[in-house]
């Protein structure tokens, strides 16, 4: 992803400055959270098994589905197309269930259910920020941003306890940057800055690929016998 800092179009809203700046500041380091260097990419490809690549591909597809359907919820909500927004939200929830289900073969049904609840919390915070933006309510935007921040830490804590190859701080940084992308995208869509939003989409997609790949690599390390 690009290493330019996320810049919000909210600088005149003091209630979001502190948290927004904190999220933005994480973006430059998030791209390297799980990789020592881009120069090691070729070596990583040589050491990855076919099973690891397949797992990463599945996770990439599911996580792109997440940002796609959340974007659809944002667009249809801003445009007040309620029927379309309802369908998009249903798809976003279905997608979250699918993402949560990917960990069940490794950690069990209870872990899957917990992960889904955490993903639902992530979506709920993004939706709350969306609704606050549509209503031009800076206070509620601030509350939603705080929820995104705390939810990222909860997810990071959950995943790091399950897998020692997913360090909490690194996962938290990645998720905070992901939340920052959602915030930036919503604001750009609301302000009809479509060219900027197209650039944000590319950053979101590349960043979500990093999350998917990091998860696949961590699973391959923890469950080496299943990925040989």
pLDDT at 47: 76
Which residues lie below 8 Å from residue 214, measured CB to CB, with a gap of 6+? Answer: 33, 34, 166, 174
pLDDT at 199: 98
pLDDT at 45: 56
DSSP assignment, residue 108? -
Q: What tens digit of pLDDT does each residue of 110-157 get? A: 999 999 999 999 999 999 999 999 999 999 999 999 999 999 999 999
Alpha carbon distance 104, 77 (integer Å): 33
pLDDT at 213: 97
Alpha carbon distance 100, 39 (integer Å): 32
148 exposure class (CB count in 10 Å sphere: 0-12, 13-18, 19+):
buried
Residues of the chain with pLDDT under 70: 1-46
pLDDT at 228: 87
């Amino acid at each position: 992803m690009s290493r330019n800092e996320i810049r919000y179009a909210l600088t005149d809203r003091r209630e979001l400055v502190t948290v927004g700046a904190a999220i933005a500041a994480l973006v430059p380091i998030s791209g390297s959270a799980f990789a020592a260097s881009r120069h090691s990419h070729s070596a990583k490809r040589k050491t990855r098994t076919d099973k690891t690549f397949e797992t990463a591909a599945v996770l990439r597809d599911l996580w792109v589905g997440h940002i796609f359907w959340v974007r659809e919820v944002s667009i249809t909500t801003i445009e007040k197309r309620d029927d379309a927004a309802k369908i998009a939200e249903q798809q976003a929830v279905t997608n979250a269930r699918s993402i949560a289900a990917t960990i069940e073969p490794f950690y069990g049904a209870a872990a899957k259910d917990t992960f889904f609840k955490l993903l639902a919390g992530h979506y709920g915070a993004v939706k709350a920020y969306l609704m606050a933006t549509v209503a031009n309510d800076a206070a509620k935007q601030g509350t939603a941003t705080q929820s995104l921040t705390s939810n990222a830490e909860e997810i990071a804590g959950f995943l790091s306890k399950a897998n020692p190859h997913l360090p909490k701080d690194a996962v938290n940084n990645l998720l905070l940057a992901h939340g920052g992308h959602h915030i930036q995208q919503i604001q750009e869509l609301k302000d009809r800055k479509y060219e900027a939003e197209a650039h944000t989409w590319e950053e979101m997609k590349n960043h979500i690929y990093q999350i998917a790949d990091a998860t696949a690599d961590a699973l391959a390390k923890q469950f080496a016998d299943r990925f040989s």
